[in-house]
Chains A and B, each alone.
Chain A
């Protein structure tokens, strides 16, 4: 930047000299000075590093995962957690919806689950399920938390205070499945317009097939 401003002030003080050589390729002997702007920053060569990621061995990971689940069960003795095995994730933990913030805070601080990958909601007609998928860089695996809410009053404490990245996932779950997240910093609709009447991923929301509309258009009914 310094080079440019100096050049700029110099140019402002005296008028530009007329070009001595007419248009054409530069002669081999005559060295045209490089424009000042190109000297402002030296070419950067700090390319990206490539690293090998060291994975813990299968046995090591199983042991660490088991340790963590045991500690979690011990810490939340009174909360009746149900831990089941699931392919692809460390475990599936079913928990009562009232303890969501304490459980998530504990998992973030004590359980190395620093990344909340996804908050999903499923409509099971009588109930609604909320799923939290967490990722741990230390254990290199996902953990699935799940809880059930009654369909007539589906609300749960927001985990945006634990992981700010969960904020938009919760907005999406509210928008599409109609689950309310208490104390969410900004619980507005994410995709659909504000004031829209439906939560379209509820099973009560019927989809009209294009074939339906076609038949109606043809028969005039």
Chain B
């Protein structure tokens, strides 16, 4: 049989963003795959070195455009450690609530796109509508639907509006029913099952070897979830469980994400109950003044001298909707961070594409890559 290379991307419905998957095929069989990234590289890590600590938050929303608040918190946890700022408890609860709402929005977006990839049209509308309802919630307290700029060094920008918790609870109750419905919808679809079961298998050992994290790893039976394994923020106080599946295929990843949505609903409810009863500050009292002021005009940086603030290094790890995200912030006493480095879970999950694509058919690729849940903004930064 003659072999040939096919470019799937950079503009292809399978990619969900801008990247190129080169696959070598023998007839319909995939025998090699090489992902190529960089179409969406904006140099966010470099721009961070030219922005003050609070100004970087704006970039984080653009970094991952389906889970902006997750990346805001990831960056802020590291920079708060680097600057030595304490966050009030109420702000932590608001942040965790944002996290889980963001996880719901991200997984719903994934559900919409993925189920359409495998050939079902109706769930696309359902998923996108429900995500929009969560975005409405975000809009009511951040003022934006995708680029929030809501968190600050030391807390969050503003408290929740009056009546928010009741409104949010109503949405959560409604969503709980919907998530069950969506699972039923797929359970009864032969198209869905045939395209998912035993496709894109990557066993636990191989996942760990390739550095794969997040729902992909948990679908292979490894219960690694940083919210539990290395608790940050107020996660230790919350009651939830880790979703695991043993199938290690596309189907298992779908099941894990559906269960994670239920667990997220549980966490949001607990946060709302806490927020109802404990008023308080939402931003730290003592934050170094320079983090909030705008950057000096170009050429003027050297005239502004900052004294008395300690140097430091911040490191944070977070279970982002796509997997394990790390941030590393070096504070060298300047008004801007000296170096900011992120670990993108999506980048690593794509990097192992050869291992979970080889041996399957070309028509399986959309289903497999869909189950990886790709956000190119985050992987290319």
A contact set with B: CB distance below 8 Å: 1, 37-38, 40-41, 43-53, 55, 86-89, 114-118, 120, 122-123, 131, 133, 135, 137, 140-142, 144, 163-169, 172, 176, 189-193, 200-201, 205, 207, 209, 211-212
Q: For residue B185, give the distance in angstroms from its CB to the closest CB of chain A.
A: 11
Please tell me if B245 contacts chain A, counting CB pairs below 8 Å: yes
Question: Could you say which residues of chain A place their CB within 8 Å of the CB of B289?
Answer: none
Question: Could you say which residues of chain B place their CB within 8 Å of the CB of A200?
Answer: 43, 46
When the two chains form their complex, are residues A142 and B230 in contact, meaning their CB atoms are under 8 A apart?
yes
Please tell me if B378 contacts chain A, counting CB pairs below 8 Å: no
| Set B211, B245, B324, B330: member contacting A48, Cβ < 8 A | B245
| Set B46, B209, B380: member contacting A205, Cβ < 8 A | B46
When the two chains form their complex, are residues A89 and B315 in contact, meaning their CB atoms are under 8 A apart?
yes
Measured in the bound complex, the distance between the Cα atoms of B348 and A111 in whole Å is 23
Measured in the bound complex, the distance between the Cα atoms of B223 and A197 in whole Å is 43
When the two chains form their complex, are residues B210 and A164 in contact, meaning their CB atoms are under 8 A apart?
yes
When the two chains form their complex, are residues A192 and B41 in contact, meaning their CB atoms are under 8 A apart?
yes
When the two chains form their complex, are residues A211 and B298 in contact, meaning their CB atoms are under 8 A apart?
yes
User: Which chain A residue lies CB-closest to B332?
Assistant: A124
| Set A38, A46, A50, A116: member contacting B211, Cβ < 8 A | A116
Measured in the bound complex, the distance between the Cα atoms of B343 and A189 in whole Å is 17
Identify 11 residue pairs between A and B in the complex whose beta-carbon atoms are under 8 Å apart, listed by A's number: A48-B256, A51-B244, A53-B229, A53-B242, A118-B343, A137-B229, A140-B230, A164-B210, A166-B211, A200-B43, A211-B298
User: Which chain A residue lies CB-closest to B236?
Assistant: A55
Q: For residue B114, give the distance in angstroms from its CB to the closest CB of chain A.
A: 16
Question: Could you say which residues of chain A place their CB within 8 Å of the CB of B46?
Answer: 176, 200-201, 205, 207
Q: For residue B84, give the distance in angstroms from its CB to the closest CB of chain A.
A: 10
User: Contacts A49-B244, A193-B38 hold; do A176 and B228 have CB atoms under 8 A apart?
Assistant: no
| Set B38, B41, B188, B211: member contacting A163, Cβ < 8 A | B211
User: Contacts A51-B223, A88-B81, A200-B43 hold; do A165 and B243 have CB atoms under 8 A apart?
Assistant: no
Query: Could you give, for residues 168-199 of chain B, a 1 whenever the CB lies within 8 Å of some chain A CB and a 0 otherwise?
Result: 00000000000000010001101001100100
User: Which chain B residue lies CB-closest to A202?
Assistant: B46
User: Contacts A164-B209, A165-B212, A201-B46 hold; do A122 and B339 have CB atoms under 8 A apart?
Assistant: yes
Which of the listed residues A115, A140, A142, A193 has the most CB atoms from chain B within 10 Å of its own CB?
A: A115
Please tell me if B225 contacts chain A, counting CB pairs below 8 Å: yes
Question: Could you say which residues of chain A place their CB within 8 Å of the CB of B244?
Answer: 48-51
Query: Could you give, for residues 148-181 of chain B, a 1 whenever the CB lies within 8 Å of some chain A CB and a 0 otherwise?
Result: 0000000000000000000000000000000000
User: Contacts A88-B315, A117-B326, A118-B343 hold; do A52 and B211 have CB atoms under 8 A apart?
Assistant: no
Which of the listed residues A131, A189, A190 has the most CB atoms from chain B within 10 Å of its own CB?
A: A190
Q: For residue A167, give the distance in angstroms from its CB to the closest CB of chain B.
A: 7
Q: For residue B99, give the distance in angstroms from its CB to the closest CB of chain A.
A: 18
Question: Could you say which residues of chain A place their CB within 8 Å of the CB of B297?
Answer: 211
Measured in the bound complex, the distance between the Cα atoms of B43 and A207 in whole Å is 10
| Set B188, B315, B330: member contacting A122, Cβ < 8 A | B330
| Set B37, B187, B197, B343: member contacting A191, Cβ < 8 A | B37
B contact set with A: CB distance below 8 Å: 37-38, 41, 43, 45-47, 49-50, 81, 183, 187-188, 190, 193-194, 197, 208-213, 219, 222-225, 228-230, 241-247, 251-252, 255-256, 258-259, 263, 297-298, 313, 315-317, 324, 326, 328, 330, 338-339, 341, 343, 347-348, 351-352, 380
| Set A40, A55, A168, A189: member contacting B229, Cβ < 8 A | A55
Told that A51-B242, A142-B317, A164-B210 touch, could you supply 16 new A-B pairs with CB distance under 8 A?
A40-B190, A41-B194, A43-B188, A44-B251, A53-B223, A87-B81, A88-B317, A120-B328, A123-B339, A133-B326, A164-B211, A176-B45, A192-B41, A200-B43, A201-B45, A207-B46
Q: For residue A170, give the distance in angstroms from its CB to the closest CB of chain B.
A: 11
User: Which chain A residue lies CB-closest to B330?
Assistant: A122
Measured in the bound complex, the distance between the Cα atoms of B352 and A212 in whole Å is 41
Measured in the bound complex, the distance between the Cα atoms of B106 and A57 in whole Å is 33
Measured in the bound complex, the distance between the Cα atoms of B45 and A173 in whole Å is 12
Measured in the bound complex, the distance between the Cα atoms of B229 and A142 in whole Å is 11
Question: Could you say which residues of chain B place their CB within 8 Å of the CB of A133?
Answer: 315, 326, 328, 343
When the two chains form their complex, are residues A117 and B298 in contact, meaning their CB atoms are under 8 A apart?
no
- Which 8 interchain pairs have the tightest Cβ spacing? A165-B211, A48-B259, A191-B38, A50-B241, A191-B41, A168-B351, A53-B228, A118-B343
Question: Could you say which residues of chain A place their CB within 8 Å of the CB of B341?
Answer: 118, 120, 122
Measured in the bound complex, the distance between the Cα atoms of B341 and A114 in whole Å is 22
Question: Could you say which residues of chain A place their CB within 8 Å of the CB of B245?
Answer: 46, 48-49
When the two chains form their complex, are residues A46 and B38 in contact, meaning their CB atoms are under 8 A apart?
no
Measured in the bound complex, the distance between the Cα atoms of B38 and A168 in whole Å is 12
User: Contacts A47-B183, A176-B45, A211-B298 hold; do A118 and B326 have CB atoms under 8 A apart?
Assistant: yes
Q: For residue A54, give the distance in angstroms from its CB to the closest CB of chain B.
A: 9
| Set B37, B47, B197, B229: member contacting A190, Cβ < 8 A | B37
When the two chains form their complex, are residues A117 and B380 in contact, meaning their CB atoms are under 8 A apart?
no
When the two chains form their complex, are residues B81 and A46 in contact, meaning their CB atoms are under 8 A apart?
no
Question: Could you say which residues of chain B place their CB within 8 Å of the CB of A116?
Answer: 211
Q: For residue A74, give the distance in angstroms from its CB to the closest CB of chain B.
A: 27
Measured in the bound complex, the distance between the Cα atoms of B259 and A51 in whole Å is 11
